[in-house]
């Protein structure tokens, strides 16, 4: 068990951060299965809120309008063999969250400080509620949501490599590869330059550049990091 500064005890937390397309979701799913942890994809929570904003006609770059939505929004992640089901106000919206317009809207929703504060509280609550522990992936898990996580991994890769991976995941998408790369560069800029919780590795995170690594190599390396922590904890 781990303990935060308030004395609250919780299970193992593996924090995985990094930009879009770095492989966070794939790694998180693998580690959760391998070590019996709950997989919490925080990006899905931002996309769910962005989806609601689009459905309601909310201006996604207006912080007050988006924050007003959070007062009557409930987002729940339910683990399944195929990954998390995302329930937005009781409705399964999982299939709708990868739409390009939702992804783009999420990148605007996520820059608002008050919205991020609301999300951090929700994400931390979900993490603390799992006695076995969690793998939580996003962009500020190791720096803000769980700065005391014992295992922190920052995945990165060149924008070209990340764009190719994302393009391969959606071969029927309307966007060209160049358009996807442009969107990804814009997202990187917003994530890294936002005032609150900018995308950056925690000081004690293990940085892993996946540009030239195979998926098997990435999974093996991250699995070794978690296992090393478990081995050191059991020997103490």
pLDDT in tens, 22-36: 999 899 999 999 998
User: Could you say which DSSP state residue 176 is in?
Assistant: -
Residue 7 backbone zone (phi > 0: left; psi -120 to 50: alpha; other: beta): left
The domain made up of 11-228 has a fold known as: Rossmann fold (3.40.50)
Cα dihedral 8→9→11→14 (10° resolution): 50
Q: What is the pLDDT of residues 156-180, one digit of tens each?
A: 999 999 988 888 876 655 568 888 8
Query: Is 50 exceeded by the pLDDT of residue 188?
Result: yes
DSSP collapsed to 3 states, 95-160: HHCCCHHHHHHHHHHCCCHHHHHHHHHHHHHHHHCCCCEEEEEECCHHHHHCCCCCEEEEEECCHH
Interval 33-68: pLDDT, tens: 999 898 888 889 999 999 999 999 999 999 999 999
Strands 12-17, 151-156: pairing is parallel
Tens of pLDDT, residues 69-101:
999 999 988 877 677 789 999 999 999 998 989
CA–CA dist 96, 175 (Å, integer): 17
Contacts of 200 (CB under 8 A, 6+ apart): 143, 192
Is residue 225's pLDDT more than 50?
Answer: yes
Task: Specify the residue for token string 């590869």.
Answer: 177
Q: What is the pLDDT of residue 111?
A: 87
d(CA 38, CA 95): 20
In the structure, what pLDDT confidence band is assigned to residue 125 with cuts at 50, 70 and 90?
confident
- Give the pLDDT of residue 218: 96
Instruction: Give the rounded percent of residues in the chain with a pLDDT score beyond 70.
Output: 92
Give mean pLDDT, residues 103-125. 91
Mean pLDDT for the stretch of residues 103-115: 91
Structure tokens at 35: 């070590």
- Mean pLDDT, the chain, rounded, equals 88
What is each CA distance from 185 to 19, 82, 140, 160, 191, in whole angstroms?
Answer: 10, 29, 18, 10, 10
């Amino acid at each position: 068990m781990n303990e935060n500064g308030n004395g609250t005890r919780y299970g193992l937390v593996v924090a995985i951060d990094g930009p879009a397309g770095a492989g966070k979701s794939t790694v998180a799913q693998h580690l959760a299965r391998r070590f019996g942890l709950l997989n919490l994809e925080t990006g899905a929570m931002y996309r769910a809120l962005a989806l609601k904003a689009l459905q309601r006609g909310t201006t996604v770059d207006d912080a007050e309008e988006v924050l007003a939505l959070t007062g009557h929004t409930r987002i729940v992640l339910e683990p399944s063999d195929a990954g998390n089901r995302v329930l937005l106000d009781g409705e399964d919206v999982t299939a709708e969250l990868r739409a390009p317009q939702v992804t783009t809207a999420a990148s605007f929703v996520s820059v608002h400080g008050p919205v991020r504060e609301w999300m951090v509280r929700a994400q931390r609550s979900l993490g603390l509620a799992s006695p076995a522990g969690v793998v939580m992936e996003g962009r500020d898990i190791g720096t803000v949501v769980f700065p005391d996580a014992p295992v922190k991994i920052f995945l990165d890769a060149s924008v070209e490599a990340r764009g190719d991976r994302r393009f391969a995941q959606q071969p029927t998408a309307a966007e060209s590869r160049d358009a996807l790369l442009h969107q990804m560069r814009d997202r990187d800029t917003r994530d890294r330059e936002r005032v609150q919780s900018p995308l950056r590795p925690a000081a004690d995170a293990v940085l892993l550049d996946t540009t030239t690594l195979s998926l098997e190599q990435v999974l093996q390396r991250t699995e070794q990091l978690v296992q090393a922590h478990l081995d050191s904890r059991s020997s103490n």
